[in-house]
Every structure is written in structure tokens, then in C-alpha cells.
Amino acid sequence: MKQFFIKSYGCQMNSYDSLRIADALQEAGHKSASSMNDANILVFNTCSIREKADEKLFSDLGRARLKKLQAQVTGDDFIIVVTGCVAQSKSEDIAKRAPYVDIIVGPQEIHKIAEDIKNFEKKNKIIRTESNAQNKFLHLTHQFFNREVSEFLTIQEGCDNFCTYCVVPYTRGREFSRDASDIIAEAKKMLSMNVKEIILLGQNVNSYRGIGPDGETWNLSRLIFALADLDGLKRIRYTTSNPKDVDESIALAHREVAILMPFVHLPVQSGSNAVLQRMNRKYSAEEYLKCIDLLRDSRSDMAFSSDFIVGFPGETDDDFQKTLDLVEKIKFAQAYSFKYSPRPGTAAEKMPNQVPEERKSERLQILQKILNDQQSSFNEGYVGGHLNVLVTKGGRHKNQQVGRSEYSQSVAICDSYLEIGDVARVKITESMSHSLVGVVV
């Protein structure tokens, strides 16, 4: 029996994969350690979305190496595993730069990690980067350990879109949608473990096309209607959507499924059609606005978050102004914005007219100021009003609990007698920079 510690970087899909790796390691008899220092199996589940992400891994591996050397002195077993998107795209590089890493497997080989550790013999490094999501989901353990009231559930993996700045199609492979009956079975198991909110995951979650129990091909909307019938499920969310796949069927789900939250993460990246074209995003700014209108017409209380990239190759001041104009039109409840980061092997990396770093920083600062102001005014708009809050954990103060509103805002509830997992109507009394305070009605 060993103690394992999993460090998960990057996206929600990595968080889900890390949970499934932990299930398999516990099923194999290993125990979860509370910190890297208490573990003799270290698993790094990596992200390669931006350059900084790669480098973060190598600095952590440096620390892991020291722990391994200490273990070798005392003759203890110590295994280092690297998985996730950097393992998929840079397995040879990792093996060269960090020869003390024992097991390097891609994100679609995580179902074999427990077996690898069992069969691992010193000196025989294991490297596997097969790309077969179907196989992964077929062989992931069905034993679940430790679930929170709000949990992710991957329904679709991989991507066929090849946006020119993105590595995901190279690290997660082609789009694969799980069978709906598989997903429903996993959801039922999660509900039996007191999960109340399920967040459906996919790189392009709204291009989900899985086989239903009726043999038909189901889309995301059809799946949501089926999940909404499950006893005990209080909330459904889904992420990440692609604007090109927003259609009437998902608007129908928002109109009719009460437990589907009125908050959609819809990355736009830029407001300039010229930039969107060079990004190969397959929609225009006008079409994006139509998606927003379609969803807003389905529920008047609908709100949005988004992703932005500034400084994409060739982006002019006028292009950037178009992004600001779009942001002004929509007013986002939340948003994530980044400077363009050239990724090895992507088409954009080789594009002419790369934008100077300081120009990227200027634009990011301007955009983030506006987005932060929009988020603050969205939150302030609820002071004196009411939100429905799912209690997720205890608060720092006596009789205080913390939860998430339907817009994923963090809400501290004072004088609360609620249980974790309860959904309460809360009167908002105060708005802080990134959270709210309220009392139960």
C-alpha cells in the first residue's frame, strides 16, 4: 500500500481525470495523501494550453526529484507519473529533461496508471501516448471514492475544430462522445454519493453526439432532459460550449429544464471577424451575438461568461476595438482573458505580424479593467435581491456557510442552519470584489 498525491493543472477535464485516477489508485489499495510531502506516488496531471503551463511542470518535477533521491537513500519505493496534455505532446522531452520520471502516459491512457504502478519495476520507464478516448471510458474503474456536492462529468472529449492557436486537437485527439446510458449510469452513482450538482464537460460540450439507450444519436439537449429526470439532482451545468454549435435545441432545454442553470460559458476569443477567421473559429461576431440573443430569449435571467485572447497575430488597434465593442454590447457576468501565447506545432505560431509583448500587455490591461467592472456591476446588481445558493462547504465564521449561486458566484451565508447540499433562497446584503454575502430568506 502506498500513499499517492495528484497535482492537477489546467482545465476542469483534468480535474475530472484526476478524480478518476484517484478512484483507480484507491481501488488498488493505495491511500490519498494530503500533500506531496506525505506521498510516495506523485502524479502530475498536466496542461499545455500556454507556455507557462509546461514550465510549471518542470519546476514541480525538480522538487519531486529531490524527494525521490531522499527515498532512494532510505531504500523506499518512490514513483513519479506524468500524465495529461504535456505528457501527450512532449513525452520524449520529459523523458530527456526529467529522466527520473518513471511513467509518462497521455490523457487517454489514465485507465492503466494503477496497473502500471503495480507492474512497475525500477529502470523500466513506461511511456504510452495512444489516443483512444473510447477505450479510456470503457476501462476506467466503476468504483468511486470521495465525491463533493458539485462534481464534473466528462461526456465528450477531443476536438475536430483545429483553431489555429490551440493544441487540444493534438493532445486530446478527435471528438468522442460517450454513450448516454454510460453517462446516466455515472450520474446515478454520483447522486447515490450525495452529489447535487453535475457539470457536464467537453472541449466542445455542445457538439455532443452520443448513442442513446434507444439507439438514436442524442445531442446535449436530449441528454440534459434525461438527466433532469434523475431523483436528487438539483442542478445541471455544462462547459465548454462552442458558439458554432449553439442551436434551438439547447435554447429549448434552457426554456424547459428548471434545474439547468441560466449561466453559459461561451468563449468568443475576439470581436473582430478578421481575427476570428485567422483563428479558424468558424463563426463571426454577428453570429456570436445571435447565439447570445437566442439563449437570452430562452430565459430572461440568462447570463454569460466568456474567454478572450488579445494580441493574436495581425490584431490591429481596430480589431481590438471591435472586441471592446462586443464586450460592451453583451456585458459579461464573468470572463477570462489572456495574451496570445504561441504554441509549438500550431498554425498561428508561424503566422506573420506577431504582436509585440508590450502591446499585448496594454490591450490585456484595458480589456481586463472593463471585464472586471462588468463583473462587479453584475454582482452589485444582486444587492437587495435574491439568489438560489447551493451550499458547498462551511464558512470561516460560526454559523456561516458558503455556496454557489445559479451564476456560480461565491456566496457567504450568515446565520445559516443549512446542510451541505441544500439549495436555499438567499437575500443578498453585500457585494465584495469576487463574492457576495447574504442571509437565508
Nearer to ligand SF4, 235 or 281 (CB): 281
Which strands form 235-239's sheet, in the order they lie side by side? 150-154, 197-201, 235-239
The three grid cell numbers given for residue 119, joined into one nine-digit string = 507492474
Which of 184, 206, 316, 314 shows the shortest CA–CA distance to 251?
206
Nearer to ligand SF4, 126 or 291 (CB): 291
Is 242 a binding residue for ligand SF4 by CB under 6 A? The answer is: yes
Phi, psi of 143 (to 5 degrees): -85, 130
For the bound state, the minimum distance from the C-beta of residue 163 to ligand SF4, rounded and expressed in Å, comes to: 3
Q: Which helix (H) or strand (E) holds 50?
A: none
Interface with ligand SF4 in residues 146-175 (CB under 6 A): 159, 161-163, 166, 168-169
> Which class for 199: exposed (0-12), middle (13-18), buried (19 or more C-beta within 10 A)?
buried
The residue type found at 176 is: F
Interface with ligand SF4 in residues 201-240 (CB under 6 A): 203-204
CA distances from 17 to 148, 157, 239, 273, 341 (A): 15, 11, 15, 35, 25
Nearer to ligand SF4, 87 or 163 (CB): 163
Give the CA angle between residues 127, 202, 85 to the nearest 5°: 25
For the bound state, the minimum distance from the C-beta of residue 158 to ligand SF4, rounded and expressed in Å, comes to: 9
Nearer to ligand SF4, 135 or 161 (CB): 161
State the helix-helix crossing angle for 180-192 and 220-227, rounded to 10 degrees: 30
Nearer to ligand SF4, 39 or 246 (CB): 246
For the bound state, the minimum distance from the C-beta of residue 206 to ligand SF4, rounded and expressed in Å, comes to: 11
For the bound state, the minimum distance from the C-beta of residue 324 to ligand SF4, rounded and expressed in Å, comes to: 21
Is 133 a binding residue for ligand SF4 by CB under 6 A? The answer is: no
For the bound state, the minimum distance from the C-beta of residue 84 to ligand SF4, rounded and expressed in Å, comes to: 15
# binding residues, ligand SF4 (CB under 6 A): 10
Nearer to ligand SF4, 80 or 87 (CB): 87
The three grid cell numbers given for residue 195, joined into one nine-digit string = 452529489
For the window 177-206, what string marks contact with ligand SF4 as x by the rule CB under 6 A? --------------------------xx--
Nearer to ligand SF4, 150 or 164 (CB): 164
Nearer to ligand SF4, 243 or 438 (CB): 243
Is 126 a binding residue for ligand SF4 by CB under 6 A? The answer is: no
For the bound state, the minimum distance from the C-beta of residue 361 to ligand SF4, rounded and expressed in Å, comes to: 22
Buried b vs exposed e over 104-116: b needs ≥16 C-beta within 10 Å?
bbbbbbbbbbbeb
Largest CA distance in the chain: 66
For the bound state, the minimum distance from the C-beta of residue 372 to ligand SF4, rounded and expressed in Å, comes to: 23
The three grid cell numbers given for residue 358, joined into one nine-digit string = 508590450
For the bound state, the minimum distance from the C-beta of residue 240 to ligand SF4, rounded and expressed in Å, comes to: 7
Interface with ligand SF4 in residues 324-363 (CB under 6 A): none
Distance CA 26, CA 272 (A): 49
Pairing state of beta strands 41-46 and 79-84? parallel
For the bound state, the minimum distance from the C-beta of residue 340 to ligand SF4, rounded and expressed in Å, comes to: 12
Would you tell me which residues interact with ligand SF4 (CB under 6 A)?
159, 161-163, 166, 168-169, 203-204, 242
